[in-house]
Amino acid sequence: MALATFWHSERKASRHVYYNESLMPYTPFEVKIKAFNRRGEGPFSQTVVVHSAEEEPTVGPSSINATALSAFEIQVSWECVHLLNTNGIIRGYEIRYWRQHEIEAAADRVRTSGLELTARVSGLRPSTRYHVAVLAYNSAGTGPPSPRIFVTTRKPPPNRPPGNVSWKTEGSVVVMRWDPVVAMHNESAVLGYKVSDLNTFHVGVQREIAVTSRNTPEAALGLSIAQKNGPVSSVRLYRAVYASVDSTCDFFHPRVSLCTL
C-alpha cells in the first residue's frame, strides 16, 4: 500500500497525545515529532510508520464449499476476503454450522488461525443436513457471514463387526476368512474390509496390513516373522506351532474391520 507523499503538520499543546479521526481503518501513515519552546524548534525524531486502528472485515468469504467425509465429519473450503475489505490483518476464519431445523443463534463454531482456506469439522451427526457459513475475523472482531450452504453427512457404518474370523496357513501364506457384513438401509454400504494387527510388544500399536473388496471376505497374507521392531507379522504366532522361531520374535493379533462409504 503506497504511503502519502505529502506531510500534514499540526502543533499540539497537550503532552504525548495526538488524535486524528479522519483516517480510514488500518491506514498506514508516517509520523515524525519535534519539540518547540519560546526559543525555537528542536530536530525531528526518526520517522516511523504507524497504522490507524482496525475494524471488522466488511464482507464475508466467497465460493464456500462443503463435502461430507464420513458420517461424523465434513470438510469446508472457501476463498479469502479481498484485501480492500479486510480493514486490518485477517487472523483467521470462523466456520459456523447448525442443523437444518435449528436457528443460526444455536450454531457451533470452529475457528482457524492464519490464512488456511480449508478446515475439517468433526463430531457431527450421521445422515444429518447442516447449514454452513464462514466468517473472517481480525483483532477488531468478526465480519459478516458468507452466504450459507448445505451439506449432509453420510450414513453411519454398520454397527456389526465381521463374524467367525478364522485363519490357516498354506505354506508361507496365511489365509484369513470371515462372514461378510450386510449393511442395513440406514447404514453406509460396505466397500471392503481392513485387516490390521495389534503388536503385543508395543501395547496399543495397531497397523493396517491388508484391504480387501466387499465381495472378498478373505485375505491371503505373506507370513513374516521378525525380531522386535522388524517387519509386521500377519497373524498371531505361537511357539507351539512354530517351534523353530527364535525367542525374540514378535507376536501379533489379527483384527478385521469394515471399510464403508
Residue that has been written with the C-alpha cell 467425509 in this structure? 69
Q: Are residues 194 and 169 in the same domain?
A: yes
**Strand duo 118-122 + 108-111: pairing:** unpaired
Residue 106: helix, strand or coil by DSSP?
helix
Domain extent at residue 68: 62-152
pLDDT lower than 70: segments of the chain: 1-9, 11-19, 22, 172, 196-261
pLDDT at 93: 97
Cell numbers placing 17: 497525545
Q: Are residues 195 and 221 in the same domain?
A: yes
Q: Are residues 78 and 118 in the same domain?
A: yes
From 128, 152, 176, the end of a domain falls on 152
Length of the chain as a residue count: 261
In a domain, 12, yes or no: no
Q: Are residues 136 and 192 in the same domain?
A: no
Q: What predicted TM-score, i.e. pTM, was given to this entire model? A: 0.65
From 99, 120, 152, the end of a domain falls on 152
Residues 212 and 232: their CA atoms lie apart, in Å, by 18
pLDDT at 112: 95
Residue 248 gets which letter from DSSP? T
Q: Are residues 176 and 220 in the same domain?
A: yes
pLDDT at 95: 98
196 within 8 A of 213, measured Cβ to Cβ:
no
Residues 53-82: tens digit of each pLDDT? 899 999 999 999 999 999 999 999 999 998
Other CB atoms within 10 A of residue 205 CB: 12
Q: Are residues 128 and 172 in the same domain?
A: no
Q: Are residues 125 and 105 in the same domain?
A: yes
* Overall number of domains in the chain: 2
In a domain, 187, yes or no: yes
pLDDT at 191: 77
